[in-house]
Structure 1
Amino acid sequence: MTALLLIASSPGAGCAQEPSKSVANAPSFLRLFRQVGDFPLGAATSRLDYQSLDPATGRLYIAGMGAGKLLAFDIEYDRLASSLNGYPKVTGVLAVPDLHKVYASVPGAGLIPSLSVALGMVGLSSGRGAIAITDTRTLREVARLPGGVFPDGITFDPKDRKIFVSDELGSAVLVIDADSNRLIARIAPGGEVGNVRYDPITAKVYAPIQSQNELAVIDPARLQVVARHPLLGGKHPHGLAIAPDQAIGYVACDGNDRLLTVDLATGKVLDHQP
Structure 2
Amino acid sequence: MAVAALIAVAVVVLAWQRPTPTVALPLRPAGEISLPGDSSRFDYASLDADRGLLFIAHLGASQVIEVDVHANRVVRVIDGVDQVHGVLVVPQQHRVYATATAANQLVILDEDTGARLGQAPTSDYPDGLAYDPQHHTIWTTNETGGSETVIDADNGHIRGTVDLASEAGNVAYDPATARMLVDVQTRDVLAVIDPATLTITRRLPLPGCDHNHGLTLDPAHRMAFVACDGNATLLTIDLNRWKVLGTQRVGDDPDVLAYDPSAGRLYVAAESGRLTTLDQHDRRLTVAGRAHLADGAHVVAIDPTTHRSYYPVPHGTTGQPALLSFDSTR
Aligned to 1:8: none
- The corresponding residue for 1:52 is 46
Give 1:266 deviation, angstroms.
Answer: 3.2
Among 36, 40, 44, the residue aligned to 1:42: 36
What corresponds to 2:93 in structure 1? 99
- Measure, in 2, the Cα distance between the counterparts of 1:189 and 1:267: 19
For each residue in 1:62-98, what CA deviation from the matched residue of structure 2 results, as whole angstroms up to 9, or x when unmatched?
Answer: 0001111001011111111111110121101110000
Q: Show CA shifts across 1:96-136 (max 9, x none).
A: 0000011001111xxxxxxxxxxxxxxxxxxx411001011
Structure 1: how far apart are the matches of 2:105 and 2:141? 12
Contact 1:55 1:97 in 2 (8 A): no
User: 1:71 touches 1:80 (CA, 8 Å); kept in 2?
Assistant: yes
User: Does 2:179 correspond to 1:204?
Assistant: yes
User: Partner residue of 2:136?
Assistant: 161
Supply the AA of the counterpart residue of 1:260.
L
In structure 2, the residue matched to 1:269 is: 244
> Which residue is 2:166 aligned to?
191
RMSD of aligned alpha carbons: 1.3
Question: Among residues 177, 185, 206, which one is paired with 2:152 in the alignment?
Answer: 177
**AA aligned opposite 1:98:** Q
| Number of the residue aligned with 2:275 | none
CA distance in 2, matches of 1:158, 1:239: 21
* Identical counterparts, % of pairs: 39
Which structure has the higher relative contact order (CA within 8 Å, separation 6+)?
2
The answer for unaligned runs of 5 or more in structure 1 is 1-26, 109-127
Q: Does 1:215 align with 2:215?
A: no
User: TM-score if structure 1 supplies the norm length?
Assistant: 0.80
Runs of at least 4 residues off by over 3 Å: none
Q: TM-score, normalised by structure 2?
A: 0.67
**In structure 2, C-alpha distance between the alignment counterparts of 1:168 and 1:187, rounded to whole Å:** 12
- 1:245 aligns to what SS in structure 2? helix
Does residue 76 (structure 1) correspond to residue 70 (structure 2)? The answer is yes
How far apart, in 1, do the equivalents of 2:243 and 2:53 lie?
Answer: 36
2:113 matched residue in structure 1: 138
Q: What's the secondary structure of 1:81's corresponding residue?
A: strand
Aligned length: 228
The change in CA–CA distance for 1:133 and 1:225 in structure 2 (over 3 A counts) is same
1:113-172: per-residue Cα shift (whole Å, max 9, x none)?
Answer: xxxxxxxxxxxxxxx411001011221011111121100111011112111110000000
